[in-house]
Amino acid sequence: MNIGRRHTTKAFPWRRSLWIASLLTPALVVMVLFVLWPLLSAFRLAFYEFNGLQPTGFIGFENFRKVLFEQPYSGWTWNALKHNIIVFFALMVFENGTAFLLAYALLKALPGHRIHQVIVFLPVVLSAVIVGFLWKLFLHPLFGLVNQTLALVGIGAIPWLGNESTALGSILFANIWHWLGFPTLVLLAGMQRVGKEVIEAARLDGAGDYVLMTRIIWPLIAPSVTIVTILTFIGSFNWFEIPYVMAGLTGSPGGATDVLGLYFYRTAFGSTTTGIQDFGQGSALAVMMFIIVAGVTAIALRYLRRREIEL
């Protein structure tokens, strides 16, 4: 950047400053009031005891101790955290893995590839409430489309969302259906940047699909892969809407689908049957989630930037 000072404005430095300040002010005010201040407060509130919505006293790390080390809260916290981690890895393998295959298939640009791009991206524009509820109906044990289809081949009613062993997987499936188009098209864009010439040159040198993929495309789309990974990570740890709609606030059955987002909301704003809410413990959970997400993202971004320079 080498934007020199203009002589017109140089004559009136205060006027120029005022002009710049007035351009920046609205955005800054909104950010300070509704992002910075709440975020700093979130850290502060985690150290307070609450009665209803009023902080009643500073209690140090007591809220953190409870959610991390005191049963039953700690059991719930670790259970939820475990599920977030499972969700992240499952999405990496199944969502992003499928997306990678689809992207490679679309890269070939066979007839109809444009319409396929539009189709795979369609669910992405829909609300998670719509997607979650649609799949909840489809997964209904008796009347749902999935079991009705399975019944045609003689498979009995499976309680997809009611069974501990299938509930999380079923919700993940709905989530993958919802979001698949996003990593697909991000990776496709990454692959397309590799450039026709590079690929054609490699082909002429006799490179097959496997060599082309591992030696040329994969290294060059590494930045896209990293971005997809980071976004998947953030998404996994903020997961809320689809489990809320499909499994309810308690992560039914028996917490088998509980994730930090649900647990945080339940703690802060009261579980369904009791209305007992705890802003202190809720804030402690939020702070921990924030540290996980921001920490991992920062490290990953640094790593990404370094690698980009190397390439």
Window 68 to 87, contacts with another protein (CB under 8 A): 71-73, 76
Which DSSP string do the residues of 239-250 spell out, in sequence order?
--HHHHHHHTTT
* CA terminus-to-terminus distance, the chain: 23
Binder among 28, 93, 211, 299 for another protein (CB under 8 A): 28
CB of 78 to another protein, least distance (A): 14
Binding mask 150-189 for another protein (x = CB under 8 A): ------xxxxxxxxx------------x--x-x--xx--x
Minimum CB separation of residue 89 from another protein in Å reads: 20
Neighbours of 197 (CB within 10 A): 8
Residue 219 C-beta: closest distance to another protein, Å? 17
Q: Which is nearer to another protein, 41 or 60 (CB)?
A: 41
**Between residue 198 and residue 237, which ones bind another protein under the rule CB under 8 A?**
199-200, 203, 209, 223-224, 227-228, 231, 234, 237
Cα–Cα dist 100/210, whole Å: 14
Contacts 24+ apart (CB under 8 A), 218-224: 219/311, 220/190, 220/193, 220/194, 220/311, 221/187, 221/190, 221/191, 221/193, 221/194, 222/307, 222/311, 223/190, 223/304, 223/307, 223/308, 224/186, 224/187, 224/189, 224/190, 224/191
Q: What residues between 274 and 303 interact with another protein by CB under 8 A? A: 274-279, 282-283, 286-287, 289-290, 293-294, 297-298
92 makes contact with another protein (CB under 8 A): no
Nearer to another protein, 175 or 224 (CB): 224
| Rounded Cα gap, residues 244 and 31, in angstroms | 28
Residues 296, 289: Cα–Cα separation, whole Å: 11
Q: Which of 59, 86, 270, 304 binds another protein (CB under 8 A)?
A: 270
Q: Which of 58, 97, 126, 302 binds another protein (CB under 8 A)?
A: 126
Applying CB under 8 A, which of residues 93, 129, 211, 299 lies at the interface with another protein? 129
Number of residues that bind another protein (CB under 8 A): 139
User: Is residue 59 close enough to count as binding another protein by CB under 8 A?
Assistant: no
